[in-house]
Structure 1
Amino acid sequence: MTLSRRSLLRAGALGAGALAGGGLLGACGSGSQPAPVPEFTGGDEWRRFAGTTINFISENTAPTAAIAANLQPFTELTGINVRIVNLELSALVQRVALDLASGQSQYHVIYADPYQVLAPYSAGLADLREFIDADGYPPLEGGLEDFIPTQLAATGTFEDPDKVFALPYDCPTMIWQYRQDLFDAHGDRMRDDLGFDVTPGMERTWEEFFQIAQWFNAHVDEVVAGVGTQSKQHDSLMCDFSNVLWSYGGEYFEGGSEIGLRGATDPGRSLLASDEAKEAAAFYQRLVGIAHPGSRSWDWDGVGNAMAQGQIAMCVNWHEFASGNEESLPGQVSYAPLPHGPARSSAHFGGCGIGISGNTGGAERGAAWLFVNWATSPQTQLANLASAAGGGTPTRTSVYELPEVQAAEQRPSELPNMLTGPTMEVAWRDDVIGLRPKIPMWNECDTAVFTELSKMLAGQQQPAATMDGLARRIDQIVARGWQA
């Protein structure tokens, strides 16, 4: 399905070079339909498109690094050649948007970020049920039911739950990462001084998290600061703040978490001017105020490096930094769910799926599906988990049930990301997982959020005024998206 160039240009006008907007959703060009997939005439279903070459465009992610380092098993299985293009996410979004609008298909398999690709461009992606439910293809092992349900909905669907535009490919989620050695060394004194159990976990409150960080600042010389945050004027700031927002009972829109799970073209009114959101902003400002001085220049890599270098005692970061922690500080870093606020504990989910360009036709369309099927299969996810090139963590329940994966949740572990396994079981629960709004115009909303929060952290405006202004700004963005 071709997206019109006019709609693409409208979308590009909406948001800071994001090429994303409401006018694009559902817009279709008048170009010809893609060529049909050649009929299956028998034989090995995996080999039916042997000799075909396909292109996979992806963000620079751990699973893609692992697959790129070991494509031979897929090539031997299928006879299909895969060329991988790795890009920073904003560059990927622009290339995908232009490719979809062209009516052609330079990129056959697409890393479909739910917020910057799936929501604005779902009309240009193939519904994967075309392949899942068809004869002539190898079955999807374990079926859709094997994917963690919240991840399948969040990364693969948009508004219509019966259409699947992508299969869950990666699942980074924010959790509490802390220096176990320092908590062991100082925990008893810290507990006596503070008057509460300091063991990290969702039993702690955000206020207690703050007090623990402050105690490290005052009493421990082994680290520069008790906590580091990813508060750079960047997407990371929105991600970091959102954990606090949701735990305080705040929401971005009236539709709440359902908009993150299913997506929406019309998300309703912004709720960022609520008392809950203002309280969350005030707390976050206080937290950054006692954090490592580098925090306002750090994204997730910055705070991850600070943890690995021993500069901070704890942080909130994506769980897949565990492998790097284990390499830099072997046996010294542990993991726990995030603290709770007045409403709940919330763990920001940042996973993405992979899908197929709707412009892809002929043998390339079928070959693209074979790659999506293989790249998200239990066997490939297990291989990625063990890959020296990266790997990420699985999105399938069956992989977590394997004895070798469960054994890796304890040290010594040959699969260090699995040290987070018990924490992730909690973080992905329906009542804990945090989902940002899956709407066509989210990219511009995201930019507004981290820009205004950055001003707040710089002391240029107060938390209440920041949230009031953000609510008005986001309502304008959403309304403009409808008018485009």
Structure 2
Amino acid sequence: MTVTRRNLLRWGAAAAGAVTASGLLAGCGGAERRPVPPLSPGQDPWRRFAGTTINFISENTAPTAAIAANLQPFTELTGITVRIVNLELSALVQRVALDMASGTSQYQVIYADPYQVLAPYSAGLADLREFIEDPSYPVLEGGLEDFIPTQLRAAGSFEQEGPVYALPYDCPTMIWQYRADLFAAHGARMADDLGFDPTPGPDRTWDEYRRIAAWFTDNVDEVRYGTGHQAKQHDSLMCDFSNVLWSYGGDYFDAGEQVGLLGVRDPGRCTLDSAEAIEAARFYDELLAVAHPASRTWDWDGVGAALRAGEIAMCPNWHEFAASNEEAFPGAMGYAPLPSGPTGSANMYGGCGIGITANASGAERGAAWLFVNWATSRGTQLDNLRSSAGGGTPTRGSVYELPEVVRAEQRPSELPNMLAGPAVRAAWEPDRIGLRPKIPMWNACDTAVFTGLSQMIAGQQDPETTMRGTARRVDQIVARGWHA
């Protein structure tokens, strides 16, 4: 993946001021909403809003790059002009906050990050059932049931079943990425030296992963270090650590599945001071001690580049880096779910949806839905897979069943991101998918987490002090609300 993802920064004062203490938008609904023009008898529902111009604000992601490079089919189908604004996520969030608070709708279609847009701003997003259930619009192909269920809930819902605020648009997920050629060349000797089968997958433990990494560093000349990590003081560090945290039985809050899947406004007390979380931090500190030293300066792009440059033999990273991996080492890469801790394998899901601002009105409101419908359709998702400008992998189950896509999971592949398909689908199993807290104040909590972890791996404090201090800081943030 990507690629610039999940670059989560603290809210700017302007964005924070756009909401009330309860998290509801102060200006939402302030402007009078114009009615959507009705469908004329005999009119093509796709041409209903021809001549309309709408704006789509998105993080600069792979699917948006692919769509931006190939908007002509949508324009020809609908007569609608779409202007795409690509931004780093933190800048996107601030613009969305201000736009919603103003009561206008400069951006009709919104890349709705679950943690920075959906959770704090669900009141400012339209419930898409308004369009899905209206027979005057084109049918949503395959219905909501065609989207991968966990992704639909994690990227599209907040607090309760029912309302759908976004349709799943991308689905980056962290998996084990490795040089299969090096494992094949050295696997037998490694197994003899280590005393276990080193084949990557969820049957391996994190401790075995650490030992494999150290073995590569000590015994293989083709790479400098066995593993690398996205351990920069940045959101990437929280993502990297979370895989270990969950696999050790730790979590950020009680009822972690509910907090991560549907989301809540008040998650309760932080549980990072639990024995399981402290043990996970202790292991993570040990893992970073054998990793490439530059790991402390890398986010996902940095560790991905190191893997492609032959600096490391393996790493946890977002699955959508598969295509660029294959360019660097054709036929030599492998993909698997992440190793297991005492409670199993956990694989961070980082997907987002696209939705419609509740303030959109008139023809722009209907045109926005036609774009959301088209942008998440089977055909568009397949075109994104084929695109040389971007890509991403599908969020619809039916796309994975297409013969072309099934074939692409084997080499030679014309859709190289699909080489990670079997591994990532295994990672999406309910007992393996990792979901960070979907709460309005997550951004500030995230900053507290990666700040504490950065101090730990720099040797400034021990794991227990780190986890207990981070838990106290998170509790303070939650108690004050999401402005913190």
TM-score normalised by the chain length of structure 1: 0.95
Residue deviations 1:312-370, cap 9 Å, x none?
Answer: 00000000000000111111111001000001100000000000011110000000000
Q: Equivalences for 1:212-361 in 2 at 5 Å?
A: 212-361=212-361
CA–CA distance in structure 2, aligned partners of residues 144 and 215 of structure 1: 47
Aligned to 1:446: 446
Aligned residue type for 2:318? W
AA aligned to 1:90 is S
Q: Does 2:463 align with 1:463?
A: yes
Deviation at 1:23, TM superposition (A): 3.0
Check conservation: 1:116, 1:440, Cα contact below 8 A: yes
Residue 20 and residue 300 in structure 1: after superposition, are their counterparts in 2 closer, same or farther (change >3 A)? Answer: farther
Q: Is the 8 A contact 1:21 1:440 kept in 2?
A: no
Distance across 1 between alignment mates of 2:16 and 2:124: 19
Aligned residue identity for 2:425: E
Contact between 1:255 and 1:268, CA under 8 Å: does it hold in 2?
no
**Compared CA separation, residues 30 and 19, structure 1 to 2 (3 A):** closer
Q: Which amino acid aligns with 1:469?
A: G
Counterpart contact for 2:252–2:271, Cα < 8 Å: yes
Cα deviation, residue 244, structure 1: 0.2
Paired residues of 2:31 and 2:104 also in contact (CA < 8 A):
no
Q: Which residue of 1 aligns with 2:76?
A: 76
Structure 1: runs of 5+ lacking an equivalent: 1-10
Tell me the CA shift for residue 450 of structure 1. 0.5
How far did 1:25 drift? 3.5
Deviation at 1:135, TM superposition (A): 1.9
Aligned to 1:35: 34
Q: Which amino acid aligns with 1:142?
A: G
**Aligned equivalents of 2:436 and 2:33: distance in 1?**
33
Is 2:402 aligned against 1:402? yes
Is contact 1:14–1:444 with CA below 8 Å preserved after alignment? no
Contact 1:15 1:444 in 2 (8 A): no
**What SS is found at the alignment partner of 1:176?**
strand
RMSD: 1.7
1:12-23 → structure 2 map (5 Å cutoff): 23=22
CA contact (8 A) 1:20 1:116 kept: no
SS in 2 for 1:294: helix
With over 3 angstroms needed to count, the CA separation of the structure-2 counterparts of 1:20 and 1:313, relative to structure 1, is: farther
Relative to structure 1, the CA distance from residue 25 to residue 272 in structure 2 (aligned partners, 3 Å threshold; closer, same or farther) is farther
| Runs of 4+ displaced beyond 4 Å | 11-22, 26-30
Distance 1:25 1:252, change over 3 A: farther
SS in structure 2 opposite 1:190? helix
Q: Which residue of 2 aligns with 1:4?
A: none
In the TM superposition, residue 31 of structure 1 has moved relative to its aligned partner by 1.6
Query: Per the alignment, do residues 17 and 323 of structure 1 end up closer, same or farther by CA in structure 2, a change over 3 Å counting?
Result: farther
Matched residues, percent identical? 71
CA drift of 1:205 comes to 0.3
Q: Which amino acid aligns with 1:231?
A: A
* CA deviation profile, 1:410-444 (whole Å, cap 9, x unmatched): 00000001001111121111111000000000000
Q: 1:458 Cα deviation (Å)?
A: 0.7
Distance 1:473 1:405, change over 3 A: same
Contact map agreement 1:12 1:19 (CA 8 A) in 2: no
Alignment check: 8 A CA contact 1:28 1:123 kept: no
Count of residue correspondences: 474
Q: Distance in 2 between matches of 1:280 and 1:436?
A: 16
Q: Measure the CA separation in 1 of the matches of 2:347 and 2:24.
A: 29
Tell me the alpha carbon deviations over residues 45-102 of structure 1, each in whole angstroms, 9 at most, x when there is no partner.
0000000000000001000000000000000000000000000000000000000000
Shift of residue 19, structure 1, vs aligned partner: 7.1
Per-residue deviation, 1:32:
3.4
Q: Output aligned runs, 1:171-182, within 5 Å.
A: 171-182=171-182
**Deviation (angstroms), 1:483:** 9.1
Q: Tell me how far apart the structure 2 counterparts of residues 273 and 361 of structure 1 sit (CA, whole Å).
A: 47
Q: Which residue of 1 aligns with 2:7?
A: none
Q: Residue type of the partner of 1:384?
A: N
SS in 2 for 1:160: coil
Cα pair 2:54 2:368 within 8 Å, conserved: yes
Q: Could you say which residue in structure 1 is the equivalent of 2:429? A: 429
The verdict on how the C-alpha distance between 1:159 and 1:26 changes in structure 2, with shifts beyond 3 A counting, is farther
CA contact (8 A) 2:171 2:350 kept: yes
Change (3 A) 1:124 1:257: same
Task: Say if 1:245 and 1:277, in contact at 8 Å, map to a contact too.
Answer: yes
Equivalent position SS for 1:24: coil
Amino acid at match of 2:84: I
1:7: which partner in 2?
A: none
Contact 2:47 2:78 in 1 (8 A): yes
The amino acid that maps onto 1:76 is E
Query: Where does structure 2 lack aligned partners over 5 or more consecutive residues?
Result: 1-9
Which residue is equivalent to 1:5?
Answer: none
Give the conservation status (yes or no) of the 8 Å contact 2:28–2:124: no
- Structure 2 residue matching 1:335: 3-state secondary structure: strand
Deviation at 1:141, TM superposition (A): 0.1
Secondary structure of the 2:344 match is coil
- In 2, Cα distance between the equivalents of 1:19 and 1:174? 33
Distance 1:282 1:210, change over 3 A: same
Structure-2 change in CA distance of 1:482 and 1:291 (3 Å): closer
Return 474-483 or 215-224, whichever deviates more: 474-483
Q: Aligned residue for 2:198?
A: 198
Question: Is 2:131 the counterpart of 1:136?
Answer: no
Contact kept in structure 1, 2:15 and 2:95, CA below 8 Å: no
Helix, strand or coil for the counterpart of 1:354? strand
Instruction: Give the letter for the 2:413 counterpart.
Output: S
> Cα distance, 1:15 vs. partner?
11
Residue number in structure 2 paired with 1:3: none
Equivalent position SS for 2:368: helix
How far apart, in 1, do the equivalents of 2:173 and 2:482 lie?
31
List per-residue Cα deviations over 1:270-303 (Å, max 9, x = no partner). Answer: 0000000000001111111111111000000000
Query: SS at the partner of 2:293?
Result: coil
- How much has 1:34 moved relative to structure 2? 1.7
C-alpha displacement of 1:33: 3.7
In structure 2, C-alpha distance between the alignment counterparts of 1:36 and 1:75, rounded to whole Å: 23
Deviates more, 1:431-440 or 1:25-34: 25-34
Query: How far did residue 14 of structure 1 move?
Result: 8.1
Give the aligned residue type for 1:229.
Answer: H
1:127 corresponds to: 127
- Equivalent-residue separation in structure 2 for 1:67 and 1:150 (angstroms): 24
- 2:93 partner SS: helix
Change (3 A) 1:440 1:401: same
Structure 1 residues 427, 482: CA separation in 2 closer, same or farther (over 3 Å shift)?
A: closer
Aligned position for 2:385: 385
Query: Counterpart of 1:368?
Result: 368
Tell me how far 1:29 sits from its aligned partner. 4.8
